[in-house]
Amino acid sequence: MLSKENIQKTLPIFEIRNVNLNYGEKQVLKNIDLNIYKNKVTAFIGPSGCGKSTLLRCFNRMNDLIENCTIEGTITYKKEDINQINPIDLRTKVGMVFQNPNPFPMSIFDNIAYGPRCQGIKNKEKLRLIVEDSLKKAGLFEEVKDRLKDNALGLSGGQQQRLCIARCIAMAPEVILMDEPTSALDPIATIKIEELINSLKKDFTIVIVTHNMQQASRISDYTAFFMLGEIVEFNETIHLFSNPLNKKTEDYITGRFG
Ligand SMILES: Nc1ncnc2c1ncn2[C@@H]1O[C@H](COP(=O)(O)OP(=O)(O)OP(=O)(O)O)[C@@H](O)[C@H]1O
Ligand SMILES: [Mg+2]
C-alpha cells in the first residue's frame, strides 16, 4: 500500500469511507475506502460493470439523479461531507467529461462561454478572456482561434473532446472527472488528450476511468483496480503495474482475464 512518506507529500481532496451503493436491490459498490489526492491523476481500471463509472458519479453527486440509487458511508470533499454541499456548487467545483464528446449545437465560443454566462458573467471582455484561457489550457486555441464563431459540431472528434475539456475548465473547477475520455478517439487524438491531462494536473486534480492499461500507466500517479464493486488494490501506478500485490491485479494487468 502507499508509503507513509508519499501520503504526507500529498493532500487528499476527496476522502471516501466505507461507501456501499445499491441500484435497487443490486449492490454495485462494496466497502469503498479511497483517497483522491490533489493535483494528481488517479486512474480507475477494471472489467466492465465493476462500478468504476458509478464511483466516479458519486464524486459530484450525479447518482442523486438516478431514482433507485442509495448510498451509505461518507464522501468528503475538502473535509466537507458532499451531502452538505449544494449539488450545483459541487458540480461547478467537480466537473465531468464523458466518453463521447458532447458539444452543444452552437459556436465554439458560445460552448465555452455557456457556463460562465449561466453564472451571471455578462462582460464581453471578461468572457473573451475566459474562452481564450480555457481553450489554451485545453490545447485547442491555436487550432480554432480563427473560427470561434463556427459551429462546434464541425470540429473533429478529438477537437470536440478538447472543447468539452475547455468547457469544463471555463467553470474553474478543482477536480475534473473523465469517464473513458479517449475511447471514441483515434490514436493521435488520444495521445493529444493524454499530453493534455499531464499538463492539466498542475492546475487540477483528475480522476480518469480507462480500459486502456497503457494509458493508465502512462498518465496516472495512482491507480485503483476494481472488481465486482470492490477495490482490489490501490497504489502508486508505478508500483501497481510493476509489482502488483494482489494476484487478481496481476492477472488483470497481464491480460489473463477481463
Ligand atoms: N442507473 C442504473 N440502474 C441500475 N443499474 C445500474 C445503473 N447504472 C449502472 N448499473 C449497474 O451497475 C454496475 C456497475 O456499472 P458501472 O457503469 O459503474 O460499471 P463500469 O465499471 O463503469 O463498467 P464499464 O467499464 O462497462 O463502463 C453494472 O452492473 C451496471 O449494470
Ligand atoms: Mg463505465
Whose C-alpha lies nearest to ligand 1, atom 8?
A: 54
C-alpha cell at 99: 466518453
Q: Which residues does ligand 1 sit against, CB inside 6 Å?
A: 23, 28, 48-54, 66
HSE, CB side, 13 Å, CA atoms: give it for residue 107.
11
Of 219, 221, 215, the residue nearest 253 (C-alpha): 215
**DSSP code of residue 107:** B
Whose C-alpha lies nearest to ligand 1, atom 17?
A: 53
**Using an 8 Å Cβ cutoff, are 225 and 252 in contact?**
yes
How far is Cα 36 from Cα 18, in angstroms, rounded to an integer? 14
69-77 sheet: strands from edge to edge = 26-37, 12-23, 69-77, 80-81
Domain that holds residue 16: 4-253
Q: Which ligand is nearest to the CA of 98?
A: 2
**Using an 8 Å Cβ cutoff, are 224 and 234 in contact?**
yes
CB atoms inside a 10 Å sphere around CB 17: 13
| CATH number of 188's domain | 3.40.50.300
Whose C-alpha lies nearest to ligand 1, atom 26?
A: 48
- 152 inside domain: yes
Phi, psi of 35 (to 5 degrees): -110, 145
* Number of folded domains that form the chain: 1
- 258 inside domain: no
Phi, psi of 21 (to 5 degrees): -130, 135
**Using an 8 Å Cβ cutoff, are 138 and 144 in contact?**
no
How far is Cα 84 from Cα 141, in angstroms, rounded to an integer? 37
- 180 inside domain: yes
- 233 inside domain: yes
- Whole-number Å distance, alpha carbon 26 to ligand 1 midpoint, is 11
Q: Which ligand is nearest to the CA of 48?
A: 1
Q: Where are the alpha helices (DSSP H) in the chain?
A: 4-9, 52-59, 87-93, 108-118, 124-137, 141-144, 157-169, 187-200, 213-219, 237-242, 247-253
Q: Which residues surround ligand 2, an ion (CB under 5 A)?
A: 53
**DSSP code of residue 44:** E
Question: What confidence score (pLDDT) does residue 256 get?
Answer: 81
Atom of ligand 1 nearest to the CA of 56: 18
How far is Cα 231 from Cα 213, in angstroms, rounded to an integer? 16
List the chain pLDDT tens, one digit each, 258 residues: 555 555 556 789 999 999 999 999 999 999 999 999 999 999 999 999 999 999 999 999 999 999 999 999 999 999 999 999 999 999 999 999 999 999 999 999 999 999 999 999 999 999 999 999 999 999 999 999 999 999 999 999 999 999 999 999 999 999 999 999 999 989 998 999 999 999 999 999 999 999 999 999 999 999 999 999 999 999 999 999 999 999 999 999 998 865
